[in-house]
Chains A and B, each alone.
Chain A
Amino acid sequence: MTKYVLRRIAASIPVLLLASVLVFLLVREFGADPARVRCQNSRDIECRRRAREELGLNDSLPVQYVSFMGDFLQGDWGESQRTGRSVGESIRGDLWETSQLAFWGVLFSGGVALAVGVYSASRPYSRGDYMFTGLAFAGIAMPTFWFGLLTIQYLTFELQNLFGSTEPIFYSIPNPVATGPVEYFRELALPVLVLSVQLVAGWSRYQRSSMLEELNRDYIRTARAKGLPRRTVIWKHGLRNSLSALVTVVALDVGALFGGLIITERVFSRPGMGTLLLSAVNNGDTQIVLPWMLVVGAIIIVFNLLADVAYGLLDPRVRMT
């Protein structure tokens, strides 16, 4: 087991390195010219030349890559060109903000998806199953940013008008002075709901099909035949054995969430990894973009590894060597 994990870690280092080359190429060669972005509002003709010099853009790409990676690996991630804040520090702070959102989102979505999946699988092709199938289709087709704005319209403003209260029940932006668990909930409820729509839609379909497969197996029929109540069979035998597939998918998606909450954070004006990247891209703060990409890429790879390990732990048929 330890050996397997170590081997997988060793195997993911070249992947991460190659991914860093790809990301570097995409950002530097296909992204906007940092010098150009930096001098957007400048009338100074010399500005771009000076910026190129300062940012080291005159070197060839391989030289730039090596010098960047050298600094990066030594922990020297540089400072933001706009705010002068240390990039490492901003990423650490924003990672914490995003983790909170991701944590509650995954907990909520996982619970709902599990319940829906088990319900649908235990009553396949029933009216309820068809309804959840329809809802899953709707969730997948739902544009996240639009759904976010709708929740603000209806659950923040209209709900407030309905009760005629002086302040909204669910906040549409973080409340910097609020403290305590109740305030925390009021602040996180809408973003968590919004980020959960697509997750629940995908995961519940997943749980449904993996559980359906499990419930058609012989041991389930045996369990029913020997007189175990339906409930026990579904919740104890079927659920436990179908869970490993869901856990794997969840782990994979969680990794992607760290770089994928851009829209949710933007709509609800929350600080986090998404907001950090968005402002860096909009302001030409190129110093942040590459470390951001590498950190998110590393998180994705770590969660891929966790997914495989979890799968092995939950399913004894899988031998990890």
Chain B
Amino acid sequence: MTDRHVDPAKRVRESGTGAASPAGTSALLDTAVATAEESFADIDEPGVRPAGSNWRLVGRRFLRHKVASASLIVLLLLGTAAAFASVVSPYEFNPTLTPEVLADARQPPSWEHPFGTDKLGRDQLTRVLYSLRKSLLIGLGVALLSVVLGVIVGALAGFYGGWTDGALMRFTDLFLVVPELAVLLIVAKNPDPSFFGIFHFPPATEVSGMILILAALGWMAIARIVRGEFLSLREKEYVEAARAAGASGPRIILRHLLPNTVGPIVVFATLEVGLAILAEATLSFLGAGIQLPEVSLGNLISDAESTVGTDLAYLIIFPGLTLFLIVLCVNFVGDGLRDALDPKTTR
């Protein structure tokens, strides 16, 4: 690419490497990329404040964002309820189908069963809570793993530049032109996934397998962001100073560049949590993820799909509402974090 060529995609998103523009990323990530690029463009100095007080400042700014704080509280409440589901709810999510249980079938929402009961008399709230546990676990696991993958790729590309950068970013672009949901569907359908028959992975019907699959296709946005940050940060004086002092490449990356990229990474990791939770539910809905009798928000909805248009539709409404609510809250928290970590709003 010559210097005169203005890559149109670059103006719109942090694209950088030409030929294949990212298409697979979601609208949310797109918008976030645009704003995050703006916001984080000039984190340049580690600052003179001790690290602890900096985080306290971020915390204070986050709490000023009312919607984000409220969302965090809702998430913590839901997370606690899900983690202690067996204490919160007097029912089991897969009870033995005794005549007493079956007698409770098809009950509309009431105080005893806030989300109603399904055709077999199982308490829907209990089933939702156990599903929520998996959703949150998957969301956090995917975010963590894709941050690790994305940071490795992005850091190497951004720090070493040149040939390494070109190769790694082409590789990233390839993952962005494959139709994401279709690939997820195909890979998740494999009951015995392995890496060329050598390393065997758990299948997507298990939480750990689902995390691996979603992270394997979810690291690209973070890699791009980290690369972009590193490209600009590595030209800074303090990096030059570190290099002059004899610091090695890995040391500069880990001690100098990465700490200054924490902001955008945290924000994108949060968005990734929401995306992963949605992706898991979608796959499970399509029959390619968690399978009954293990419950997930997706398969609870597909299990009750035939109740659409009947009085039992509450069986669909509550799990979906829960799913919607957690993803919404996660995204609001991400938004709050972005504002809180943005150095431009420092007072």
User: A residues near B, CB below 8 A?
Assistant: 8, 11-12, 15-16, 18-19, 22-23, 26-27, 29-33, 36, 137-138, 140-146, 149-150, 152-153, 156-157, 198-199, 201-203, 205-206, 209, 245, 248-249, 252-253, 255-256, 259-260, 262-263, 266, 277-278, 281-282, 289, 292-293, 296-297, 300-301, 303-304, 307-308, 311-312, 315, 317-321
Bound complex: CA A32 to CA B177 (Å): 22
Q: How many residues of B contact A (CB 8 A)?
A: 70
The digit string for B1-32, where 1 denotes a CB below 8 A from any CB of A, is 01011111101100000111111101110110
Residues of B within 8 A of A36 (CB): 191
Are B12's CB and A248's CB within 8 A? yes
Residues of A within 8 A of B35 (CB): 209
Does B278 touch A at the CB level, under 8 Å? yes
Which residues from 285 to 329 on chain B have a C-beta closer than 8 Å to any C-beta of chain A? 285-288, 298, 301-302, 305, 308-309, 313, 316-317, 320, 323-324, 327-328
Are A281's CB and B186's CB within 8 A? yes
Are A209's CB and B34's CB within 8 A? yes
User: B residues near A, CB below 8 A?
Assistant: 2, 4-9, 11-12, 18-24, 26-28, 30-31, 34-35, 170, 173-175, 177-183, 185-187, 189-193, 195-196, 274, 278, 281-282, 285-288, 298, 301-302, 305, 308-309, 313, 316-317, 320, 323-324, 327-328, 330-332, 335
In the complex, the chain B residue whose C-beta lies closest to that of A282 is B287
Given contacts A152-B309, A202-B31, contact A260 B177 (CB under 8 A): no
Which of B30, B316, B324 sits near A142, CB closer than 8 Å?
B324
Are B6's CB and A26's CB within 8 A? no
Residues of A within 8 A of B287 (CB): 282
Interface contact tally, CB-CB below 8 A: 209
Q: Shortest Cβ distance from B21 into chain A, in angstroms?
A: 5
Q: Shortest Cβ distance from B135 into chain A, in angstroms?
A: 11
Bound complex: CA A155 to CA B115 (Å): 23
Residues of B within 8 A of A319 (CB): 4-6
Which of A32, A141, A245 sits near B189, CB closer than 8 Å?
A32
Are B5's CB and A202's CB within 8 A? no
Are A301's CB and B20's CB within 8 A? yes
Residues of B within 8 A of A282 (CB): 189, 287
Most chain A beta-carbon neighbours within 10 Å: one of B27, B189, B278, B327: B27
In the complex, the chain B residue whose C-beta lies closest to that of A298 is B177
Bound complex: CA A149 to CA B229 (Å): 42
Bound complex: CA A255 to CA B179 (Å): 10
Residues of A within 8 A of B5 (CB): 319-321
Q: Shortest Cβ distance from B167 into chain A, in angstroms?
A: 11
Are A256's CB and B24's CB within 8 A? yes
Given contacts A29-B196, A209-B35, A256-B24, contact A141 B8 (CB under 8 A): no
Which of B178, B308, B320 sits near A26, CB closer than 8 Å?
B178
In the complex, the chain B residue whose C-beta lies closest to that of A254 is B23
